[in-house]
Structure 1
Amino acid sequence: MDPRLIVIRGNSGSGKSSVVGGVRAAYGPGVAWIEQDYVRRTIFQEPGRPDDASIPMIGQIARHALGRGFHAVVEGIMPTLGYAEMFAELARDYAGSAYFYYLDIPFEETVRRHATREKASAFTAEAMAEWYRPQDLLEWPRETVIDQTSSLDATVQRILRETGLDPAAQLQVGDDDRLTGG
């Protein structure tokens, strides 16, 4: 199977990290998780502007992971202003399968979800309101929109199925190496 490029975008508190965690748990080793927050905040300590150095670096990390045979899952808020060009280049340049998802969750629900997270005290609902961008969809590549009616499990299963990363489906097609570990 060729490495998959998977992009999961959405507002803060929309469930992006939980979805990626679910995909990795279901698939197992071989999935590179490229977190916008880690690259932007930890590596570069940038404020989140459209010209941040972290934006092209996220694309480079994804290219590197794909080139080494990993499925690359890029995850973050990643507003179209600043990221759209990088994603268009990444999708255009990658010859393999690419999937783009946008978690479209109403603001009130993102605040409710944020309150349940470990980092709930890291920022307020007021800060989230400043960052919130409803329907911040890319023009190209087109994103599959997943709304609040999809549970975490249903979202993870959908992404696994649509991208071909569903381990159960892989076993059904007779992947003997996966069954025997050889």
Structure 2
Amino acid sequence: MRFCNEGTASVGSVEDEPHLIVLRGNAASGKSTLATALQRALGPRTAKVEQDHLRRVVLREHDVPDGENIGLIAHTVRYCAGIGHHTIVEGILVAKHYRDMLCDLLDEHHGPTHVFYLDVPLEETVRRHRSRPLVAKVSADELRRWYVESDLLGVPGEVVLDGTATPEVTLAAVQSVVGHVLALEDQNPGRYL
């Protein structure tokens, strides 16, 4: 199925093909926690591509339309998927800036694809933000300005998750949608510490 372009393409369903999983949501919605737990659950040869790391740490860039991080995220996801890793891309990934890039990635991917949106009310994100280290740099007022309600991509099969559920319940919900995923054979098992 095509996600953003006309026509059709198949979504892979073979268990041992690399999966592409997109996890989106507002700040403090639980994306990073979920992505880390899912990466562990999927096993070796699972890449986690974090928008914040590439945008804020690598490029030191603000989230702006046509930002340089958009291409870097796309390149990183393509590389990881291209070498046969299950690939999780996570971040706020606000639709008005990232939708086209994400749709291209979904359309191009040959294996199974999954898109999730963690839906967390504004005041819950503000409450959670108070316990994060980033609170020293980002005020609650700034967090409120960033918040985009129901910022769905609007692609076929997009799943809205109750972001107020526990991390364990959320992981189980994602795993039930993704289905059984075979851990990909690790080509170099000695590299992990």
TM-score w.r.t. length of structure 1? 0.86
Map of 1:174 onto structure 2: none
Q: Of Structure 1 and Structure 2, which has the larger fraction of its residues in helix?
A: 1
- Count of aligned pairs: 172
Map of 2:104 onto structure 1: 89
Contact 1:103 1:146 (C-alpha < 8 Å) held by counterparts = yes
Contact 1:91 1:141 (C-alpha < 8 Å) held by counterparts = no
User: Are 1:7 and 2:22 matched, yes or no?
Assistant: yes
Find the partner of 1:99 among 78, 95, 114: 114
Provide the secondary structure at the position in 2 that maps to 1:89: helix
Find the partner of 2:125 among 91, 96, 110: 110
Contact 1:27 1:165 (C-alpha < 8 Å) held by counterparts = no
Whole-angstrom distance in 2 between the partners of 1:116 and 1:106: 17
Find the partner of 1:137 among 152, 167, 185: 152
- TM-aligned CA distance change 1:112 to 1:53, over 3 Å: same
- TM-aligned CA distance change 1:152 to 1:63, over 3 Å: same
TM-score w.r.t. length of structure 2? 0.81
User: Are 1:30 and 2:45 matched, yes or no?
Assistant: yes
Q: CA RMSD in A?
A: 2.2
Whole-angstrom distance in 2 between the partners of 1:2 and 1:98: 10
Provide the secondary structure at the position in 2 that maps to 1:156: helix
Runs of 4+ in 1 over 4 A off after TM superposition: none
Provide the secondary structure at the position in 2 that maps to 1:33: strand
Unpaired segments of 5 or more residues in structure 1?
Answer: 172-176
Whole-angstrom distance in 2 between the partners of 1:16 and 1:148: 9
Aligned pairs (5 A) from 1:65-80: 65-80=80-95
Task: Give deviations 1:112-148, integer Å, cap 9, x for gaps.
Answer: 1112223332311111011000001112255210123
- TM-aligned CA distance change 1:18 to 1:160, over 3 Å: same
